[in-house]
Amino acid sequence: MNEILTLTRQILEDGSLIRLVLGNKRKKSVPYGKVVIRPFAGRDGVLYQAEYVYENKVLHENLDPEELLEQIAFLMENSFKQANFFTADADYQVLAAKPENPRIIRKDPTMERQGLSHNQIKKYVIPDGEPVDFLVRLGVMNESGKVHAKYYGKFRQINRFLEITRDVLDALPEARTIRIIDFGCGKAYLTFGLYYYLKKQLGRDVQIIGLDLKEDVIRFCSNVAEDLGYEGLQFQIGDIAEYQGTEADMVVTLHACDTATDYALLNAKKWGASVILSVPCCQHELFRQLKNPLHEPMLRQGILKDRFCAILTDTFRQLKLEEWGYDVSMIEFTSLEHTAKNIMIRAVRTGKPKEKAPEQIRELKEYWHVDPTIVREDI
Ligand SMILES: C[S@@+](CC[C@H](N)C(=O)[O-])C[C@H]1O[C@@H](n2cnc3c(N)ncnc32)[C@H](O)[C@@H]1O
């Protein structure tokens, strides 16, 4: 099986796959006669459509590269004895009566790619296959630029974040240094990504601070920034709620737990930051407060109450931002299959407060009997 997966991984990483057909059932009980896999350009990079061909119907499933690898391993182990890869460079016939000992026959290519160009496949801000110093240093890719399979999700997340940043560039200062703070930066994959994109790729003048409670993490990130010569990228130990440092034009806070997000947003408001990118998580605060007898059936189920609290908390954040004069969009950060913490609050300052927001906040507070940090601390 390893040989089959190595071949598949290599083809996926080359971006050369045109079509893959799995067939020749291993046993009668396999419900589909064959599975045909084709790449297509998804929003965050290339995805694969798997078409399961049954006797009387066809079902489709979209998979990312990692999921595809897993699915191929499963199907070759359990369902099919043969795989035919059609790639831009060669055709490969894999005969795997025994999956652990397959025969792989390479022939000249017989198919040409149509529709999906190589550029569409490699539409990442940071492409796969080209070495990038910070990604090598953080263990995401090897020295030749190959992203390690285990880090593909992280690699995609960094790229998605940079695409979102690209969309808000116009709101950031053009004629002076862009000041950015990443609250709760953790190991700082995204902070480094931001620096690399703005400074190294776009040549913008940036001053970026990554703040986190964890001393060891900050020490590690500071060493990496220094080793890479990333001037203008600093890491500091500190609590978001008590941060008294320099102002920022862009406030980033990704997966800072519970009310830490609120303090990040309150800082952004205080400074009149032009852009805020925030992915909240662990919105537990309202769980202890929420009361409304009308909704007792939902609230008695912990999991429903928990999910609803997250939505309600983020709704208060949205309204507050609107009250402060931000245009707010809730967007999908990464695919929901990878994490439930996938909603990003993207706020761009317009300076035009939404008049209805304060009243809506009051009504929601009263209706749900809650007093969220973002409202209480906004004084
Ligand atoms: C889940 S990690 C996310 C790291 C990074 N932002 C990312 O998305 O990859 C959350 C980080 O926020 C930090 N954090 C949580 N509360 C904080 C606070 N009040 N002040 C500073 N950092 C905080 C934690 O130490 C942790 O490193």
Final residue of a structural domain among 100, 121, 142:
121
Final residue of a structural domain among 99, 121, 143:
121
Give yes or no: residues 263 and 313 share one domain: yes
Give yes or no: residues 293 and 313 share one domain: yes
**For strand 250-257 and strand 275-281, is the pairing parallel, antiparallel, or unpaired?**
parallel
**Cβ(256) to ligand 1 under 6 A?**
yes
Give yes or no: residues 64 and 182 share one domain: no
CATH of the domain at 295: 3.40.50.150
Q: Is residue 126 part of a domain?
A: no
Give yes or no: residues 160 and 301 share one domain: yes
Q: Is residue 128 part of a domain?
A: no
Q: Which atom of ligand 1 is nearest to the CA of 260?
A: 19
Final residue of a structural domain among 87, 121, 155:
121
**Cβ(185) to ligand 1 under 6 A?**
yes
* 188 C-alpha to ligand 1 centroid (Å): 10
Token couple for 208: 């970026």
**Cβ(254) to ligand 1 under 6 A?**
yes
Residue 285 carries which DSSP code?
G
Give yes or no: residues 12 and 96 share one domain: yes
Alpha-carbon distance of 345 to 324, in angstroms, equals 14
Query: pLDDT tens across 55-102, in order?
Result: 888 888 889 888 999 999 999 999 999 999 998 888 999 999 998 899
Q: Is residue 127 part of a domain?
A: no
Give yes or no: residues 86 and 141 share one domain: no
Q: Which domain holds residue 82?
A: 2-121
Give yes or no: residues 161 and 89 share one domain: no
- Domain count for the chain, please give it: 2
pLDDT for position 124 = 79
* Angle between helices 65-78 and 152-168 in degrees, nearest 10: 150
Give yes or no: residues 234 and 357 share one domain: yes
Q: Is residue 206 part of a domain?
A: yes
Give yes or no: residues 282 and 302 share one domain: yes
Give yes or no: residues 184 and 111 share one domain: no
Give the residue ranges of the chain where pLDDT is below 50: 117-122, 336-338
Give yes or no: residues 248 and 115 share one domain: no
Q: Is residue 245 part of a domain?
A: yes
* 43 C-alpha to ligand 1 centroid (Å): 27
pLDDT for position 121 = 47
DSSP 3-state of 25: strand
Q: Strands of 103-107's sheet, edge to edge?
A: 58-63, 45-53, 34-42, 17-25, 80-87, 91-95, 103-107
**Cβ(255) to ligand 1 under 6 A?**
yes
Give yes or no: residues 164 and 137 share one domain: yes
Q: What's the CA dihedral at 216, 185, 240, 247 to 10 degrees?
A: 120
* 239 C-alpha to ligand 1 centroid (Å): 10
Burial (CB count <10 Å: 0-12, 13-18, 19+), residue 228:
middle
Q: Is residue 41 part of a domain?
A: yes
138-162 CB burial, b ≥16 within 10 A, e <16: bebbeeeeebeeebbbbbbbbbbbb
Is the pTM here over 0.85, yes or no? no
Q: How many Cα atoms occupy the beta-carbon half-sphere of 113 within 13 Å?
A: 20
